[in-house]
């Protein structure tokens, strides 16, 4: 790498905007925003025996416990800051988990230790103190009796000084394979799940540690990393313990280090840590770095890219990589914070005001009923604010169903088809005076049959009045099925509309179900009332006397008689508009219709004229009485959930319906805390 290129990269560490973005991300993480949105970060993962602690020691200069055989039970966040201070500063604190309660959070936030140097004994003491503050067993304490095995809190170590590069990373507890009294099988499962959850985040860069003495294919941490990052786009491999390789194993290690065996986008880095013997003999960090440089100057390691060997090169590369990663993601993070803030605020708003007291519960229900009734009013008046086929467009669906009902009634409402004037006996029979055949599918035959079956003392050619009523009842027999199906369709429309409206005004599913459980029986009563009203309308039309004062009846009957006469004249060759002399006796003799036939035709025309009036009246009555008045009216099923309904409830019933359950109360609390975090995050990012 040229000096000019190095200078450009180093300038990124001191660029004010880059530094600000790094500080903002650290501040967001400290707010606990990582629980709400994904934040860019470097995460160190590896086996306990992979040399991870020694690597951290080399990167940070802190004496992380090496070969302790103990399980770390919390995450450690290490932050490097370049400051103008001449003296190096180390600040240790605890960042409480986002879901920590206030008392616990306050206790953890009180923990703070300041150092200029952090020797091994003091650092071990700090780790034990932090564990105790988090409610965890200290090193060497039995874990079986502990109610808490791992903490969601984070131990934060800030290292500031004039020589530091501004970057940070999180160290996760190391995997182990042989459970002991201090680290159990349950601990292993927790650690594995923790690692998977962290590295599964698409904004996490994975620093995976490989003990070069072990076969890469057998390293569990790399299997986990590959599952989270199949393409190797977010994974950086770090090889340790190259100095402990057996003779002849260097070639395989070199291939891995040169990104030939397991290809990773960001490649591999190699470090040489202090050995156990060197730790025991007190080899200093200065000596450690000198030994590392000397090691990578020897064959075959001297053939590796100098930018990829040693902790100094690793530290600089990681700082630059994190800087670039944050710069790329920063605009999206700001947008996500804003979007999540709006979503959470809307979710909290949908929960409504807190509902702990009876007054709050009543006000909550009143607000729901008011919103519900306003939607009902708009949808009944045809003022829609929804999509084309939204079930809440009640008036549209009722009108469309009503049109289909009218069409079906007019098409299929009569049991037998009425005849036209062209189909009278002049056309139908060769022998005009012959008796009419009793055909059940022919309305003339049915009329003739009923005439004969119901003859009384009336004079020839006259009709028993009960025949007309019997004929009308038979002719209207399809009405019950057609109208009943229409009522059922409207009931279905109302049910679906109610479902949609309740979901719109009441997002709390539990409260919604409780309200529905209370009003559904009343809805069923309204539906039964509509069906009962339909039965009454059918009875009035089909079982009573045939009554009407509608002038269209007389007009229809007169028009039918005129049409029948004109049709017979046309059959004699007399055309409309011609003036002819006609002998009435001659006309009657040319159209020899029996008294029965004449009576059948008159009954047919009378029945047809009355049917036209009655069916329109019935259709209108079904729509106005059964549907508009009972189903859509002020006391109908779409009006039951109203302020009056709330007023009818006693205090106990109100509490049972509107009182907040634990889940809702907990959700309200979580949303409130999340909104508070996001509000602070918005200020931090501004």
Does residue 479 sit in the same domain as residue 608?
yes
Average pLDDT over residues 76-97: 87
Considering only 175-189, 486-500, 624-638, which range has the smallest mean pLDDT?
A: 175-189
Residue 139's pLDDT is 66
Which of these three, 112, 136, 171, is where a domain ends? 171
In a domain, 340, yes or no: no
193 and 297 assigned to the same domain: yes
Q: Is 305 in the same domain as 418?
A: no
What per-residue confidence (pLDDT) applies to 597?
72
Mean pLDDT of 498-521: 91
What is the structure's pLDDT at 569? 63
Q: Report the pLDDT value the prediction gives residue 305, as an integer from 0 to 100.
A: 95
Strand partners, 43: 170, 206
Last residue of a domain, one of 309, 339, 369: 309
- 404 in any annotated domain: yes
| Domain around 254 | 41-67+184-309
184-235 pLDDT, tens digit per residue, is 788 888 899 999 999 999 999 999 999 999 989 888 999 999 999 999 999 9
Query: How confident is the model at residue 7, as a pLDDT?
Result: 44
Please give the Cα distance from 503 to 509 (Å, whole number): 8
Write the CATH number for 189.
Answer: 3.40.50.300
Q: Mean pLDDT check: name the lowest of 164-173, 479-488, 570-579.
A: 570-579
Last residue of a domain, one of 275, 309, 343: 309
Q: For position 200, what pLDDT does the model report?
A: 93
The burial class, CB within 10 Å (0-12 / 13-18 / 19+), for 665 is: middle
User: Do 189 and 159 share a structural domain?
Assistant: no
Maximal CA-CA distance, the chain: 146
Residue 623, classified by CB atoms within 10 Å of its CB into exposed (0-12), middle (13-18) or buried (19+), is buried
Same domain, 109 and 226: no
pLDDT over threshold 60, residue 434: no
User: How much is the pLDDT for 458?
Assistant: 65
Q: What is the pLDDT of residues 21-38, one digit of tens each?
A: 888 998 998 888 988 999
The pLDDT, as a whole number, for residue 427 is 41
- At 183, the pLDDT band (50, 70, 90 cuts) reads confident
Q: Residue 73, SS3? A: coil
- Comparing 4-8, 24-28, 95-99, the range with the smallest average pLDDT is 4-8
Same domain, yes or no: 161 and 220: no
How confident is the model over 601-616, as a mean pLDDT? 85
Asked whether residue 289 carries a pLDDT value surpassing 90, the answer given is yes
Residue 350 inside a domain? The answer is no
Percent of the chain as helix, strand, coil, to the nearest 5? 60, 10, 35
For residue 9, pLDDT over 60 is answered with no
What's the average model confidence in pLDDT over 657-684? 90
Average pLDDT over residues 166-177: 87
Per-residue pLDDT at 313:
94
Domain count, the chain: 3
Q: Does residue 602 sit in the same domain as residue 497?
A: yes
**pTM assigned to the model:** 0.63
What torsion do the CA atoms of 211, 214, 215, 216 make, to the nearest 10 degrees?
-10
Dist. CA 368–CA 355, nearest whole Å: 13
Confidence of residue 608 (pLDDT cuts 50, 70, 90): confident
pLDDT tens-digit map of 308-331 = 999 999 999 998 899 899 999 999
* pLDDT tens digits along 229-255: 999 999 999 999 999 999 889 999 999
Average pLDDT over residues 114-128: 88
Give the pLDDT score at 570.
Answer: 67
Statement to judge: residues 513 and 441 lie in one domain: yes
pLDDT average, residue stretch 275-279? 85
- Neighbour tally for 256: CB within 10 Å: 17
pLDDT, mean over the chain: 85
Query: Do 160 and 219 lie in a common domain?
Result: no
Q: How far is residue 98's CA from residue 108's CA, in Å, rounded to a whole number?
A: 12
Given a cut of 90, whether residue 297 has pLDDT beyond it is yes
| 452 in any annotated domain | yes
Q: Is residue 1 assigned to a domain?
A: no
């Amino acid at each position: 790498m040229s000096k000019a290129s190095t200078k450009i990269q180093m300038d990124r560490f001191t660029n004010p905007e880059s530094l600000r973005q790094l500080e903002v991300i650290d501040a967001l993480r400290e707010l606990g925003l990582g629980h709400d949105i994904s934040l860019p970060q470097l995460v160190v993962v590896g086996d306990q025996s992979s040399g991870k602690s020694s690597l951290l020691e080399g990167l940070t200069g802190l004496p992380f416990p090496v070969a302790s055989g103990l399980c770390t039970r919390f995450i450690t966040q290490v932050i490097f800051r370049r400051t103008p201070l001449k003296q190096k500063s180390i600040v240790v604190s605890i960042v409480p988990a986002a879901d920590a309660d206030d008392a616990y959070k306050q206790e953890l936030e009180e923990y703070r230790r300041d150092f200029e140097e952090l020797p091994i004994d003091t650092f071990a003491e700090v780790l034990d103190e932090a564990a105790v503050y988090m409610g965890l067993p200290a090193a060497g304490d039995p874990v079986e009796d502990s109610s808490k095995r791992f903490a969601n809190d984070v131990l934060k170590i800030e290292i500031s000084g004039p020589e530091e590069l501004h970057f940070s990373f999180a160290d996760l507890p190391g995997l182990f394979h042989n459970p002991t009294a201090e680290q159990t099988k349950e601990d292993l499962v927790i650690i594995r799940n923790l690692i998977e959850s962290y590295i599964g985040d698409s904004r996490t860069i994975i620093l995976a540690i490989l003990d070069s003495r072990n076969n890469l294919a057998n390293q569990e941490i790399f299997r986990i990393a590959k599952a989270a990052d199949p393409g190797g786009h977010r994974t950086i491999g770090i090889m340790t313990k190259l100095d402990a390789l057996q003779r002849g194993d260097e070639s395989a290690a070199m291939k891995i280090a040169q990104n030939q065996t397991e290809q990773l986008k960001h490649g591999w880095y190699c470090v040489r840590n202090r050995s156990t013997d060197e730790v025991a003999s007190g080899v200093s960090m200065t000596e450690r770095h000198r030994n590392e440089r000397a090691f990578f100057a020897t064959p075959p390691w001297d053939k590796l890219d100098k930018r990829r060997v040693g902790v100094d090169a690793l530290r600089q590369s990681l700082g630059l990589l994190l800087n670039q990663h944050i710069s790329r993601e920063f605009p999206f993070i700001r947008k996500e914070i804003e979007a999540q803030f709006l979503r959470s605020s809307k979710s909290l708003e949908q929960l409504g005001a807190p509902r702990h007291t009876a007054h709050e519960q009543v006000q909550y229900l009143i607000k729901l009923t008011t919103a519900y009734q306003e939607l009902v009013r708009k949808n009944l008046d045809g003022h829609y604010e929804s999509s084309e086929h939204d079930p809440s467009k009640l008036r549209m669906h009722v009108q469309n169903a009503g049109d289909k009902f009218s069409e079906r009634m007019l098409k299929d409402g009569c049991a037998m088809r009425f005849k036209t004037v062209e189909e009278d006996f002049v056309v139908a029979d060769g022998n005009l005076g012959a008796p009419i055949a009793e055909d059940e599918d022919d309305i003339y035959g049915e009329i003739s049959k009923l005439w004969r079956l119901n003859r009384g003392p009336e004079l020839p050619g006259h009709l028993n009045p009960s025949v007309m009523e019997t004929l009308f009842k038979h002719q209207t027999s399809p009405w019950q099925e057609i109208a009943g199906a229409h009522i059922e369709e409207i009931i279905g429309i109302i049910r679906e509309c109610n479902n949609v409206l309740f979901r719109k005004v009441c997002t709390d599913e539990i409260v919604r179900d409780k309200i529905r459980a209370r009003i559904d029986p009343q809805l069923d009563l309204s539906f039964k009332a509509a069906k009962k009203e339909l039965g009454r309308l059918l009875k009035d039309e089909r079982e009573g006397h045939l009554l009407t004062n509608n002038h269209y009846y007389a007009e229809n009957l007169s028009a039918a008689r005129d049409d029948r006469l004109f049709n017979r004249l046309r059959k004699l060759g007399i055309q409309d508009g011609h003036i002819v002399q006609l002998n009435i006796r001659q006309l009657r003799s040319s159209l020899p219709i029996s008294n029965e036939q004449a009576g059948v035709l008159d009954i047919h025309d009378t029945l047809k004229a009355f049917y036209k009036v009655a069916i329109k009246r019935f259709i209108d009555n079904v729509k106005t009485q059964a549907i508009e008045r009972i189903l859509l009216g002020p006391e109908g099923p779409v009006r039951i959930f109203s302020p009056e309904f709330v007023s009818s409830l006693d205090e106990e019933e109100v509490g049972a319906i509107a009182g907040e359950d634990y889940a809702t109360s907990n959700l309200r609390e979580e949303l409130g805390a999340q909104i508070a975090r996001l509000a602070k995050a918005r200020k931090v990012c501004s």
